[in-house]
Amino acid sequence: MTEKSSAACAIAPGGKSDQDLAINDNLFNRLFTRVALNTWGRLYRSHGVCRPISRKLIVKSGLWTDLTEAATMKFISENTSIPVPEVYCSFVHEGRTFIVMERMRGKSIGKALNSLGHDGQRKVFAQLKRMMDELRSLTPPPGTGVQSCTGGSLRDSRIARSRNRFGPFATIQDFHFWLRDGFCFDDNQEKVSMKGQEGQEMADMIVCRMVNGHLLFSHMQT
């Protein structure tokens, strides 16, 4: 049971450059954003990598911020009924990404959930389920691999070895091969101490992951 992959990190077709991903990238928006952050934006408190610059605008700009995030929000807005902030512009300046978007007021689910009561929580979870179902109902075009909606790389903070971004991958098998760090059970059988049920479970998992399943659009896929 040896899996070979000569294209574990093959670039998927349709990937776009920073210039293609930028939204409303012009001199006025660049200057306005940077001036706003360094003037009246200082009157507002930052929320992580996001800083309001007015009652209706907020800017996201951090170490891991990427133009794909803005492009993904635009994609969701145009292809689903899921409410997302409107993106006014996005660009890269001196290696740093800036996303200017609609400021949506409210409490995060993490802060509000315990105060909602059982019925309120049930309604929130039902809304989240409908959103996830709608995301996963999107049909990928032929030839789509494990990639962002722009055909490029991905970010998932839950994957420790992903560093900043990873992929894209031409197939699901290539993605799983990368997740295993190129581990093939037959090639390493004498090097690992897994025997009996543990070894069989590892072998069964690898066989299962060699089957090409259905691609679904999901959260954290940006």
Enumerate domains of the chain plus CATH numbers. Answer: 18-102 (3.30.200.20), 138-209 (no CATH)
Token pair recorded at residue 136: 């996963």
Pair type for strands 87-93 and 57-60: unpaired
Q: What is the pLDDT of residue 172?
A: 84
Q: Do residues 97 and 90 touch, judged by C-beta distance below 8 A?
A: yes
Q: What is the reported pTM?
A: 0.78
What pLDDT was estimated at residue 191?
46
Find the radius of gyration of the CA atoms of the chain.
21
| Predicted local confidence at residue 86, as pLDDT | 97
Least confident of 51-55, 60-64, 93-97, 182-186: 182-186
Q: How many CB atoms lie within 10 A of CB 189?
A: 14
**Edge-to-edge, what's the strand order for the sheet holding 96-102?**
50-52, 57-60, 96-102, 87-93
Residue 101's SS3 state is strand
